[in-house]
Structure 1
Amino acid sequence: MEVAFSGINIYSKKPEAVFEFYKKLGFRVLEEVAPDDKWYGSTLALQDGDNAPIIWIWRQSDEDNSVVCNHFVFSTNGKMDEVYESIVAAGIACKPPFTAVWGGRELILHDPEGNELLFL
């Protein structure tokens, strides 16, 4: 089967906060709909290129109380300390990188909706 991963949807009752979080991390804003829009949509990408995965952020309806937590994995390409410093410089609180049980370094943080971002 030949398919390409396009991206992921994040639904939130406070999509503006989620949007700002990813924007601070350096995701490029591709589209943002007015915050007072019923669905509030925004589209972000971390990488350049036509095939870069995208994050779509949507307003979760008041009637929808489901909780979905995603787990994102990012490669720091050996620049863990630089990544950590840029996260802190962006004003995002996170614990320093640590050595995981498997011996590699990891950095974990969560967005305002509880989605986990794991940096390796």
Structure 2
Amino acid sequence: MVRKLMCVNITSKDSKRLADFYRAIGVPVYVNDEDYDGWFLGNSENEGCVTVWDENKWGPSCAGFITMVFEVDDLEETYEKIISQGIAINPPRTADWGGQELTLKDPDGNIIMFL
């Protein structure tokens, strides 16, 4: 029986750049130890997370792009933080399902959505 989701793996040709981008838009980024060659995106290693690996070392993780959805406390505050980092992004919008969404692409083309 499945106990929990450990992680979702993605790869990047520049994993540090990608980790720095996620840090800049407010996603917690951490590494277990100095010998680890991946970056965890998420709140803690005890919860499911996204792991960014070095594509040059491990090869591509998928044939296309993925969409990551993050829940935030304040969508407008998140938008302002991203703008303050000099990252181009459209303002939050009302989605077809009625809620507010904020979307952008990371440097590798993956879609990031904040709710």
Query: Where does the alignment leave 5 or more consecutive residues of structure 2 unmatched?
Result: none
SS at match of 2:88: coil
Give the share of equivalent positions with the same residue, in percent. 32
RMSD of aligned Cα (Å): 2.6
Structure 2 letter corresponding to 1:17 = R
SS at match of 1:95: coil
Greater per-residue helix proportion: 2
Matches within 5 A, 1:104-119: 104-119=99-114
Task: Determine if the alignment matches structure 1 residue 15 to structure 2 residue 32.
Answer: no
1:96 to 75, 91, 95: 91
Give the superposition deviation at 1:43: 1.9
Give the superposition deviation at 1:44: 2.4
Query: Where does the alignment leave 5 or more consecutive residues of structure 1 unmatched?
Result: 35-39
Provide the TM-score with structure 1 as the length reference: 0.74
**Farther-moved stretch of structure 1 (5-14 vs 66-75):** 66-75
Larger Cα-atom Rg: 1
8 Å CA contact retained: 2:38, 2:54: no
8 Å CA contact retained: 2:10, 2:52: yes
- Tell me how many residue pairs correspond in the alignment: 112
Structure 1 letter corresponding to 2:3 = V
Task: Determine if the alignment matches structure 1 residue 73 to structure 2 residue 33.
Answer: no
**Runs of 4+ that moved beyond 4 A:** 31-34
8 Å CA contact retained: 2:42, 2:49: yes
Provide the TM-score with structure 2 as the length reference: 0.77
Cα deviation 1:3-58 (Å, max 9, x = unaligned): 21111212122223212111212323224769xxxxx923224314x522233222
- CA distance in 2 between partners of 1:12 and 1:69 (Å): 11
Structure 1 letter corresponding to 2:97 = W
